[in-house]
A and B are shown apart, each in its own frame.
Chain A
């Protein structure tokens, strides 16, 4: 599929260009800004309402629907923190564990595979590459039942292994593809220079290519963080023990047990659970946006 074809580096450069000359009349620009601001407000309103509700006393939340709390109540956070079996930081830590291992696994295995596809020669490379791309479009649910059975036979149910181990097996074609594109844009001269120095493929990989792939790895890390932090289905399926709950499961348990009246604490914990995502987003927007733009354009 020959889509508009530009190597990633040139694209990155383009994104950092100063914006195109302002077009249109001031009036049209103003009206565009107006529309965009309105849309932006509507988009963000739910989030703002969530945050503001988390600081209102529970009874006020649906009584006083405005954004600015009439009565401030920060105890929601303290209450929500201890409302479940374990203090909330246990669940935050659980999620962190799963996320960190997933990130490490992804970067490790996808970088290795990407290097093989991008730089190495071996029989079947084209075939395997096509196969890998194919798995990008494979709906994962079809593998669900047998994978569950495998994990159950291995005795891995109720542990984090089913969530973490697949990441070490380069099962995310998206990231492999991202890295392949990135590596392809690195000049071959680097490889040659390394080889002349006597580096085997592995040394070349570790010493030369990998350090240059930091943007791609950062993108992988951020995307992995966000999708793993939010992940609900996997943990729902594999984790029974409440102590091992990740944040999404803990939130849902909250809703099940107290969701009909303790809105304040529940919203407070919701804010806590999406805060890391918002944080990573603000810090790593560049990588995120370039990342998906790349795959789209490929």
Chain B
């Protein structure tokens, strides 16, 4: 651990002035060292991130199972994955969940943010009420609650019953079990909503004033002013929500008791990965699965970035 030497009085070695860039002055070196020192925990953390990153790439090409030495098996894991009906099912489940719940969630978030944005009393109360569920949505307690709310005798079917509708067996019917989790994800719209709200508040009011003077309708204002100006935020929310929902685990696990049932209808990709890697200990296969998901996420993120050129508007 280097001892920091006190600076000579009237310091300011204008080192940079006289070609200091070529030679690193002692004080500069000192600064470097302190910089690195401060970053020491982060360096350790990066080590702890980068090494596993490449290790899992390596493992994806082996048949490691924690008991024996890993053997290189080439593309065997990936081949097996394409023929694994449960893997394909897990992709299906994850995709359906993502591409249904994320758009709905963002739309609701934006809608509510718009309603809230127009100078309302008690805005912060509403905002808090809507935000709270998003803090609880991933907790075991809430997912368990959801299971009972949608149970055969739960309040959802009870509510439907008031209208004479016989609700389905939400939790045990493979057709409907995923919808309960989609509803749960939409329930947590509060988080993107807060971000939308903050963004909406930054749209200068005078744009709207000018537009209404010009006789533009509310809808026109929304389309031409609001949307473009908050498009970066929509983009941000979209990316973060997509990445997050591809990695769903807890909800699937708790709703199905760890099985991904009924009939694998809640078998999220990460849940299947967990089953393969940590209950059957096929760690090579699980690593291959992890990399496949990584690539899928990367591809979708890239698509989004490319597409963003067409609809995201940055005011520079």
**Chain A residues engaging chain B, CB cutoff 8 angstroms:** 1-4, 6, 11, 14-15, 19-24, 29, 32-33, 35-36, 39-40, 43-47, 49-50, 62-63, 65, 108-109, 112-113, 115-116, 120-123, 125, 128, 131-132, 135, 137-150, 152, 166, 168-171, 176, 195, 198, 200-203, 205, 226, 230, 232-233, 236-237, 248, 251-252, 255-256, 259, 263, 266-267, 270-271, 273-274, 277-278, 281, 285, 288-289, 292-293, 296-297
Contact B129 A40 (CB under 8 A): yes
CB closest chain-A residue, reference B29: A122
Provide the residues of chain B in CB contact with A132, threshold 8 Å: 42
- For A271, what are the chain B residues with a Cβ–Cβ distance below 8 Å? 141
In the bound complex, residues from chain B placing their C-beta under 8 Å from that of A112 are 38-42
Determine if B290 is an interface residue (Cβ-Cβ < 8 Å).
Answer: yes
What chain B residues lie within 8 Å of A65 (beta carbons)?
154-155, 158
What is the minimal beta-carbon distance from B144 to any residue of chain A, in angstroms? 6
Of B35, B52, B149, B273, the contact of A49 (CB 8 Å cutoff): B149
The answer to whether B42 and A169 have CB atoms under 8 Å apart is yes
CA distance A200 to B315 in the complex (A): 40
A143 to B287, CA, bound (A): 9
Once the chains bind, are A142 and B291 in contact (CB under 8 Å)?
A: yes
B272-316 CB mask vs A (1 if < 8 Å, else 0) is: 011001100001001100110110010001000000000000111
B26 within 8 A of A: no
* A-B interface pairs (CB < 8 A), number: 288
Query: Which residues from A are CB-within-8-Å of B11?
Result: 195
State in angstroms the CA–CA spacing of A226 and B66 once bound together. Answer: 33
User: Which of A49, A150, A168, A200 is within 8 Å of B155, CB to CB?
Assistant: A49
Residue-wise, chain B 237-274 has the 8 Å CB interface mask toward A (1 for contact) of: 10100010011011001100100000000000010011
Max chain B CB contacts within 10 Å: which of A116, A144, A146, A169? A146
Contact of A141 among B40, B115, B293, B316 (CB under 8 A): B293
> Which chain A residues border B124 with CB–CB below 8 Å?
285
- Residue from B151, B287, B293 within 8 A of A62 (CB atoms): B151
Contacts of A273 in B (CB 8 A): 139-141
Give complex CA distance A62, B293 in Å. Answer: 40
CA distance A46 to B129 in the complex (A): 13
Q: Name the contact of B49 in the complex, choosing from A135, A236, A256, A266 (C-beta under 8 A).
A: A135
Report 24 cross-chain contacts, Cβ distance below 8 Å, ordered by A residue.
A19-B123, A24-B119, A63-B153, A108-B41, A121-B28, A121-B32, A132-B42, A139-B294, A141-B293, A142-B53, A146-B56, A171-B45, A198-B7, A205-B38, A233-B249, A251-B144, A252-B254, A256-B257, A271-B141, A273-B141, A274-B139, A289-B127, A289-B131, A292-B195
B7 touches A46 (CB 8 A): no
Contact of B286 with A168 in the complex, beta carbons under 8 Å: no
The answer on a CB contact under 8 Å between B139 and A143 is no
Verify if B78 is at the interface (C-beta below 8 Å from A): no
- Contact yes or no, A141 B270, CB < 8 A: yes
- Complex contacts, B49 vs chain A, CB 8 Å: 135, 138, 143, 171
Given contacts A22-B121, A36-B115, A123-B32, contact A109 B41 (CB under 8 A): yes
Report whether A201 and B233 are in contact in the complex, using a CB–CB cutoff of 8 Å: no
Flag if A36 contacts B42 (CB, 8 Å): no
Q: Which of B35, B116, B130 contacts A116 (CB 8 A)?
A: B35
A112 to B41, CA, bound (A): 8
**A170 x B45 contact (CB < 8 A):** yes
B242 to chain A, nearest CB (A): 11
Tell whether B226 is near chain A: CB-to-CB under 8 Å: no
Complex: A49 Cα to B150 Cα, angstroms: 13
* Nearest chain B residue, comparing its CB with the CB of A120: B35
* CB closest chain-A residue, reference B118: A23
CA distance A22 to B116 in the complex (A): 11
A69 → chain B closest CB, angstroms: 14
Are A201 and B4 touching (Cβ within 8 A)? yes
Bound-state CA distance A69–B40 (Å) is 56
Q: In the complex, what's the smallest C-beta–C-beta distance from A189 to chain B, in angstroms? A: 15
Q: Which residues of A contact B53 (CB under 8 A)?
A: 138, 142-143, 146
Contact A4 B315 (CB under 8 A): yes
Contact B118 A24 (CB under 8 A): yes
**Minimum Cβ distance to chain A for residue B168 (Å):** 17
